Amino acid sequence: MKFTLSWLKDHLDTDASLDEICAKLTAIGLEVEEVDDKAAFKPFVIAKVVSAEQHPNADKLRVLMVDTGKGDPIQVVCGAPNARTGLVGAFAAPGTYVPGIDVTLAVGTIRGVESRGMMCSEKELEISDSHDGIIDLPADAPVGQSYAAYAGLDDPVIEINLTPNRPDCTSIYGIARDLAASGLGTLKAPKAPSFAVEGETPVKVKLDLGGDDHLCPGFALRLVRGVKNGPSPRWMQQRLIAIGLRPINALVDITNYMTFDQGRPLHVFDAAKVKGNLVVRRAVDGEKVLALDTREYTLNPSNVVIADDNGVESIGGIMGGEHSGCDENTVDVLIESALWDPMNIAKSGRSHGIITDARYRFERGVDPEYMVPGLERATELVLELCGGTAAKTDVVGYKGFDARIVDFPFADVKRLTGLEVSSDESVDILNRLGFTVTGSGERVSVAVPSWRPDVDGKADLVEEVMRIHGVDNIRPAPLESHGAVNGRILTTLQIRSRVAKRALASRGMMEAVTWSFIPKAHAELFGGGAPSLALSNPIASDMSDMRPSLLPGLLAAAQRNADKGYGDVALFEVSGTYENDRPEGQRRVAGGIRRGTASLAGAGRLWSNAAKGGGKPVDIYDAKADALAVIEACGLPMGNVQIEAGAPAWYHPGRSGTIKMGPKVVLGYFGEFHPKALAALDVSGALAGFEIYVDAMPEPKKKATRTKPALDLSPFQAVKRDFAFVVDKTVDAGAIVRAASGADRKLIAGVNVFDVFEGASVGEGKKSIAIEVVIQPTDKTLTDEDFEALTAKIVGNVLKTTGGTLRA
Amino acid sequence: MTELDTLEHQLLADVAAASDEAAIEAVRVGALGKKGSVSDLLKTLGTMSPEERQTRGAAINALKTRVTDAIGERKSALRDAAIDARLKAETVDVSLPVRSSPAERGRIHPISQIVDEITAIFGDMGFSIAEGPDVETDYYNFTALNFPEGHPAREMHDTFFFPADESGERKVLRTHTSPVQIRTMEAQKPPIRIIIPGKTYRQDSDATHSPMFHQVEGLVVDKKANVANMRWVLEEFCKAFFEVDSVTMRFRPSFFPFTEPSFEVDIQCDRSGPIVKFGEGTDWMEILGCGMVHPNVLRAGGLDPDEYQGFAWGMGLDRIAMLKYGMPDLRDFFNADVRWLSHYGFRPLDMPTLFGGLSA
């Protein structure tokens, strides 16, 4: 919402400066977005051409001597056809920025003649499109004075960012009312229109809305006969230009002026072009109208139109039709002042993509009580500017306004804001804003004025009192302490998500945040792509479906890094994936990938581990370690965690695993990826990754005490024994470890796999697995016989379960 | 020169000549072993007369002591020399590089770090953290938050929609974290003090808008929380978060459907340089929106607005991260470029706490 300072002062009597006004506007909730104080116009002064002679070297140029009211006349080379001796115009000295040509003037030489400034056209000052010649002012214009001040161009323009709840401030009068209420001046009472009325308005209006009368709660129409519709006066044009509107003709300009001055959109029909009576009705499906923006709109029954015997003449409350518009030939004009349903206007306007000043106001709510007075004021302006005779106004559909009554306890101001405002002051503020307060004591009845449809409860009244009294008067007051140390403030899931992030970052991985929506093909590849999780209006086709997994986004991110030359990356994310559109369908997943040589120890080659396979590509075991690190960090008992071969289809079937807790709970998957999945994602390189479902982890058991169990340390020396078994290649090392551990649960403290070997020496299809068994005696030192018996049991158990042999 | 002198001279010469531990051991055995030259002399003591023993015996014992000492000294000198030689041989090139610690290489994304910072601050003020789903119903995202059907304010949200289900209901991607206000009020009776960080979505994209972004929202509901308390909470938060001694904030009346009265809040700052500085300067920057919870929202949460009252606020998490840490472009947050993560990310051991400071 834009307006000029002088326009505001039409309604507000104030001595406040521009800065004070702007500060107050912001303070009462009418946030000033931009102020143009028109300082750019300051350097332009009125100057008189003392002499104009032909340029010696150019036919179309003249050399002017210009009196700027200061010092000797100045020489200016000018190409304007109207440059002549005696012309009074606008002069810009060297150093002046000329907005219309985006140039800061310098002393120049044009075809060999020095030029020390410029006589400007209106286009060069961006005050109109006129570039027929330089500005040509009346001979009595005061030479040496500011041109902007003389021409009324120094009127500062203020733009406020109006919140959608304040239809009353879509009018400059309304803004003045708010400022006056805040004590910044006095609201000037509008002068009651006074003019003679002759005859009836012959065109009748019928509301034909099939019972949906709320779509047009009122319609007023008046004919003015015998007008002369030329350009509007300069003062009106200047104000309209200043706020960004293009003057058309007096009748149209009056409607635009009223839209901003009073927030009262109007429409004018050329009566000669209206055939028969007007009817307000729903559009017929497919009905077309050529609107004033010269575009044709195809309408439907949810649009309300004003039609005559020719068809649709106007889209009610949104935009008029081209056919019955007013032009310089208009003699009889029909002025419409109507009310429309805000929701319907918003919907219609949106569906056709029409943004107009009328729609802006009607969808917020136009003051119903001003429908007729607005028409009176517009009529007065028409008579003033275009002459003619006003006929009687015809009003249909309007049932009057019932003010909303709000029960208002004054104490609510303090209850909600902490402000101490006396009830007298509250009443005063409300009155100044146009509310009517009745009753006395602690609770009063407040009638809401017709221009404030946004106020419907006592909290709204508290806001009115607060913003006018001044928000800055509210002193911060500490929030009362709970009176105790704040207990646990995170849920288990939040704690685990957080710790998973820190654990993975501690493993040299970088946390990424990737899009929740991914390409449909990627979603389908990773088990997603359900229609209920596909956006109806994605911002781009490759951000269309809610992700079923973190991996596609991370794999794509790794590839983007690789494409920039950073191929060894370790990325993770702890975030949501989506199984369905219900809250419980949103999983909390910790996922990560490593690419290239980005192992835990570090990426790339290094002298120290060249011999130990430094720079070796990442594989399933890197991913497994990351996955288990998450589970461990989240505090799950690792003894209950089981690893099974295989994982969903996007993993390498022979190089992937499933992590379970008990037979049912799947904690996650890890491994290398299926080559087809990588190809479909268009990624390449050594890649391994994992996903752990943090939300699948059971809540930790509630413990009766924080005390840790007593530590039982054996006084006897622990002993290590090595064994090597040759087994079929398909036998899991895990089976050997389990079998060995099971030999004596009491004595065997640990079993570590320390070598895995495949080669001709162990035979085709075989492998050798070497384990170290840690034996911890608990009640006596073991004898040789004890060891022999234990060893035999270990070997026996392993051979029995794996079908292998003890390696010689 | 007596025979003893000669022997001593010879033995000391042998000691001096011994070049390694084996040689000195041979000298020791030759002199002090069972059949050593000095041991042989000592064996003669028994055959001596008392007088002889007093003179010659003492001389032999003295000889033994000197030779023993000499051998001991030489032995330890040779051992030291051997160690020195070994150490010299073992010398390596200390300039060769080693691997950095994984914990130094890993990074926490600024969003996660900021959430931890916020958690630390509000945890101290008695708040806990609440979360909710990204895929929301129209009811929780709009209706319960006092956005009437067809209201222009809904339009301002650039909502992402899912297709209508059998019942005609269209789920949305939440446009703000505010639905969690309702979910919390439904689940928990006041007093409520929660902070809601999370992902939010709007169909919008440029340097400061991203179709996915993060918000953090706060909600206080009890029987007396008012605007003055809200001012205090937000000022304390901004001071703690931006780690400055004081901030000046401007509360401007504004409009949000779910609060009444509503405010937009500006923070005074210095924007003259490339980095915004808080606690100084004369510029204003909008930083958050807030207000008293609208009576209709309290009702939607099952609370009587005449009994309970409270306030709520919301701000862009990514935006305050950018303001504090200086990232220039929001879109980079979601690119997973390791150079950006390495530069703007945080080390896993940099954990924001109030006892250790929010940032290093």
Query: With an 8 Å Cβ cutoff, are A513 and B131 in contact?
Result: no
- Do A23 and A71 sit in the same domain of this protein? no
Q: Are strands A570-578 and A510-511 parallel, antiparallel or unpaired?
A: parallel
B131 and B243 together in one domain? yes
Res. A41: pLDDT tops 90: no
Query: Using CB atoms, which residue from B102, B227, B231 is nearest to A600?
Result: B102
Asked whether the predicted pLDDT for residue A673 surpasses 70, the reply is yes
Same domain, A24 and A93: no
**Same-domain status, B81 and B114:** no
The predicted structure's pLDDT at residue B145: 95
Note whether B112 contacts A: Cβ–Cβ < 8 A. Answer: yes
The answer to whether A528 and A578 have CB atoms below 8 angstroms apart is yes
- Provide the pairing of β-strand A319-320 with A311-315: antiparallel
Chain A touched by B351 (CB under 8 Å): yes
**8 A C-beta contact, residue A598 and residue B99:** no
What CATH number does residue B310 fall under?
3.30.930.10
The answer to which of A74-78, A149-153, A403-407 has the lowest mean pLDDT is A149-153
Question: pLDDT tier at B122 (50, 70, 90 boundaries)?
Answer: very high
Chain A hits for B162, Cβ within 8 Å = 532-536, 581
Residues A241 and A104 in one domain: no
Give the total number of structural domains in chain B. Answer: 2
Say if residue B142 is in the same domain as residue B180.
Answer: yes
Residue B131 annotated in ligand binding: no
Q: Are residues A540 and A596 in the same domain?
A: yes
| Pair A409, A260 in one domain | no
DSSP states of A624-637: HHHHHHHHHHTT--
Select from B159, B164, B201, B167 the least CA-distant residue to A531.
B164
Does one domain contain both B75 and B173?
A: no
Residue B357 included in any domain = no
pLDDT of residue B153: 67
Q: Which residue from A479, A482, A575 is facing B233, i.e. has the nearest CB?
A: A479
Which residue in the set B103, B135, B338 is minimally distant from A506, CB to CB?
B103
CB atoms B171 and A532 under 8 Å: yes
- Which residues lie below 8 Å from residue A371, measured CB to CB, with a gap of 6+? A218, A220, A264, A337, A338, A339, A395, A398
Q: Are B73 and B161 within one domain?
A: no
List, as ranges, residues 359-378 from A with C-beta within 8 Å of B: 363-364
pLDDT above 80 for B208: no
User: Percentage of chain A surpassing pLDDT 70?
Assistant: 99
Segment among A132-136, A735-739, B89-93 with least mean pLDDT: A132-136
Q: Is A379's pLDDT higher than 70? A: yes
Per-residue confidence (pLDDT) for residue A613, from 0 to 100: 58
d(CA B312, CA B145): 12
Residue A519 neighbours by CB under 8 Å, 6+ apart: A541, A542, A543, A544, A545
Closest Cβ opposite residue B161 in set A350, A477, A535: A535
Residue B86 to chain A, least CA–CA distance (Å): 22
Contact B228 A474 (CB under 8 A): yes
In residues, how long is chain A? Answer: 808
Which residue segment(s) compose the domain that A743 sits in?
A: 719-806
Residue B349 belongs to some domain of the structure: no
**CB distance from B117 to chain A under 8 Å?**
no
> pLDDT-based confidence at A604, cuts 50/70/90?
confident
Residue B94 inside a domain? The answer is: no
In this prediction, residue A396 carries a pLDDT of: 95
Residue A712 belongs to some domain of the structure: no
Q: Touching check for A466 and chain B: CB below 8 Å?
A: yes
**DSSP 8-state symbol, A417:** H
Is residue B24 predicted with pLDDT exceeding 80? yes
Q: What phi and psi, each to the nearest 5 degrees, are found at residue A599?
A: -85, 180
Query: Is residue A170 domain-resident?
Result: yes
Say what the ipTM of the complex is. Answer: 0.89
CB-CB: which of A478, A508, A517 is closest to B102? A508
In a domain, A195, yes or no: no
Residues of B in contact with A363 (CB under 8 A): 152
* pLDDT band of A8, cuts 50, 70, 90: very high
Residue A454 annotated as part of some ligand binding site: yes
Within 13 Å, how many C-alpha atoms sit on residue A312's CB side? 27
Q: What is the pLDDT of residues A445-466, one digit of tens each?
A: 999 999 999 999 999 999 999 9
* CATH, residue A786: 3.30.70.380
A360, two tokens: 């802006």
Compute the mean pLDDT over every residue in chain B, rounded to the nearest whole number.
91
A567 and A664 fall within a common domain: yes
What confidence tier does A668 reach under pLDDT thresholds 50, 70, 90?
A: very high
End-to-end distance of chain A based on CA atoms, in angstroms?
Answer: 93
pLDDT in tens, B299-327: 999 999 999 999 999 999 999 999 999 89
Q: What is the mean pLDDT of chain A?
A: 93
Quickly state the pLDDT bin for B275 (edges 50, 70, 90): confident
A467 in contact with B, Cβ within 8 Å: yes
Is any Cβ of chain A less than 8 angstroms from the Cβ of B156?
yes
Same domain, B142 and B276: yes
Q: Are residues B77 and B115 in the same domain?
A: no
Judge if B43 and B116 occupy the same domain. Answer: no
Instruction: Give the mean model confidence (pLDDT) for residues A547-572.
Output: 97
> How large is the average pLDDT for residues A527-541?
94
Can you read off the two tokens belonging to residue B176?
């703000």
Region A119-132: mean pLDDT is: 82
Q: Beta partners for B221? A: B192, B310
Q: How many Å lie between the alpha carbon of A27 and the closest alpha carbon of chain B?
A: 6
Instruction: Give B132 or B2, the one with higher predicted confidence.
Output: B132
Q: Does A483 touch chain B (CB under 8 A)?
A: no
Contacts of B61 (CB under 8 A, 6+ apart): B42
Question: Closest-CA residue in chain A for B122?
Answer: A489
Q: How many domains does chain A have?
A: 6
A287 and A339 share one domain: yes
- Closest residue of chain B to A457, computed from CA coordinates: B295
Q: Are strands A333-339 and B192-201 parallel, antiparallel or unpaired?
A: unpaired
DSSP state, residue A743: T
Answer whether residue B51 shows pLDDT above 90.
no
Final residue of a structural domain among B61, B89, B117 = B89
Residue A248 domain flag = yes
In a shared domain, residues B152 and B62: no
Q: How confident is the model at residue A421 (pLDDT cuts 50, 70, 90)?
A: very high
Asked whether residue A706 is assigned to any structural domain, the reply reads no
In a domain, A487, yes or no: no
Query: Is residue A95 domain-resident?
Result: yes
In A552-664, where do the E strands start and end? 570-578, 586-595, 641-645, 651-661
Do residues B169 and B268 both lie within one domain?
yes
**Cβ-nearest to A477 among B103, B170, B229:** B229
Interval B290-294 mean pLDDT: 97
SS3 A536: coil
* Whether residues B79 and B167 fall in one domain: no
Q: Residue A614: what pLDDT? A: 64
- CATH number (domain holding residue A422): 3.30.56.10
How far is residue A465 from each of residues A28, A260, A438, A683, B291, measured CA to CA in Å?
10, 26, 16, 62, 15
Task: Give mean pLDDT, residues A339-343.
Answer: 94
- pLDDT of B250 strictly over 90: yes
Q: Are residues A670 and A793 in the same domain?
A: no
Tell me if A536 and B254 make a contact (CB, 8 A cut-off).
no
Do A368 and A297 share a domain, yes or no? yes
CA distance A424 to chain B (A): 21
* pLDDT, greater one: A233 or A702: A233
Q: How confident is the model at residue A721, as a pLDDT?
A: 93
A475 and B228 within 8 Å at the Cβ level: the answer is yes
Q: What is the pLDDT of residue B43?
A: 86
Q: Are residues B85 and B19 in the same domain?
A: yes
For residue A131, pLDDT over 80 is answered with no
In tens, the pLDDT along A164-214 reads 899 999 999 999 999 999 999 999 998 889 999 999 999 999 999 988 999
Residue A413 and residue A534 share a domain: no
pLDDT, average across residues A484-505 = 92
Give domain status of residue A200, yes or no: no
Cβ neighbours of A489 in B, within 8 Å: 119, 122-123, 127-129
A784 is in an annotated binding site: no
Q: Is there a single domain that holds both residue A236 and residue A359?
A: yes
pLDDT of residue A234: 87
Task: Establish if B102 belongs to a structural domain.
Answer: no
Q: Does B98 touch chain A (CB under 8 A)?
A: yes
CA distance A195 to A250: 19
Residue B350 falls inside a structural domain: no
pLDDT (tens digit, 9 = 90+) per residue, B144-196? Answer: 999 887 776 676 678 999 999 888 889 999 999 999 999 999 999 999 999 99
Share of chain B above pLDDT 70, in %: 98
Shortest CA distance to A462 belongs to which of A416, A530, A509, A395?
A416
Domain holding A84: CATH number? 2.40.50.140
**Does residue A28 sit at the B interface (CB-CB below 8 Å)?**
yes
Confidence of residue B1 (pLDDT cuts 50, 70, 90): low
A164 touches chain B (CB under 8 A): yes
Same domain (yes/no): A410, A382: no
The domain containing residue B327 runs over which residues?
108-344
